[in-house]
Amino acid sequence: MTNQPTDAFFAAWRTYRKIVDTNYMFHREIGERVEETLRAAFGDEGFSILDLGCGDASVFAPRLARLRPNRYVGVDLSETALGLAAENLKVLACPAELRREDLLAAIGAGEERFDVIHTSFAVHHLSTEQKAEFFRRAAARLSERGLLLMTDVMREEDETLPLYHAHYVEWLRRDWSELTLEERETTCAHLVENDMPESFSLLQAQARAAGLEAEPIAAFRWHKVVRFTPSAG
């Protein structure tokens, strides 16, 4: 049936909305740190932003509206998500340009530079080698005053990927009680099958090799916010 992908998207989207609304992944605290970081960096000057893996933009759009960017480009693979994002991003003072592209392809295409490259819970889906390429491409797309702002899950320094999966799934099953049993198990399966987070130290080393310095902004369990800026000299 042609509507199956859309049905699957909305089932996952409803679960995601419950996770956001119950703040299980600390979206509230993370959003506050992201907004504070961007305001400290740009104040009322305006800035251009490339939002990689923007999804439906429902969480980010209200905060971004208060920051008043002068250019917004959002990228996601889901056409359905982009349709929702187009509505949610109407709160921006500037037009929102939305592109249906793969994250790495989007950041590697064209010559335009951005003051901000923002990504939230997307890079952990890339392989280790792809993450290194992500940093190389991001560094090439930042303006002189630019910064890469990444929110993502990261493993503890002594935590293997299988251990991370086991620890996260245990926490999710125990504490995410507002989700139904089916929603919890579906989320756990997605996590184990698709999530490949690295430790902060590995990401820091990859970024440094690409000419970016990492500055941790906030950490809530495995959920971290990191600011990357071009290395001096």
Report whether 126 contacts 157 (CB < 8 A).
no
pLDDT, position 233? 61
- What pLDDT digit, counting tens, does each position of 88-111 carry? 999 999 999 999 999 999 998 778
* Contact in structure between 69 and 49 (CB atoms under 8 Å): yes
Q: Which residues does residue 142 pair with via DSSP β-bridges, in sequence order?
A: 114
Question: Which of 124, 149, 153, 119 is closest to 222 using CA atoms?
Answer: 153
pLDDT digits (tens, 9 = 90+) for 32-70: 999 999 999 999 899 999 999 999 999 999 999 999 999
Give the pLDDT of residue 102: 92
pLDDT reading at 225 higher than 50: yes
Q: What single letter denotes the amino acid at residue 109?
A: A
Q: Residue 126: which pLDDT band, with cuts at 50, 70 and 90?
A: very high
Q: Return the axis-axis angle of helices 181-194 and 161-175, rounded to nearest 10°.
A: 170
Q: Which two tokens stand for residue 232?
A: 């001096």
| Eight-class DSSP state of 148 | E
**Counting every residue, how long is the chain?**
233
The burial class, CB within 10 Å (0-12 / 13-18 / 19+), for 112 is exposed
Q: Whole-angstrom distance between the N-terminal and C-terminal Cα of the chain?
A: 56
Rounded to 5 degrees, what are φ and ψ at 4?
A: -60, -45
Average pLDDT, the chain: 93
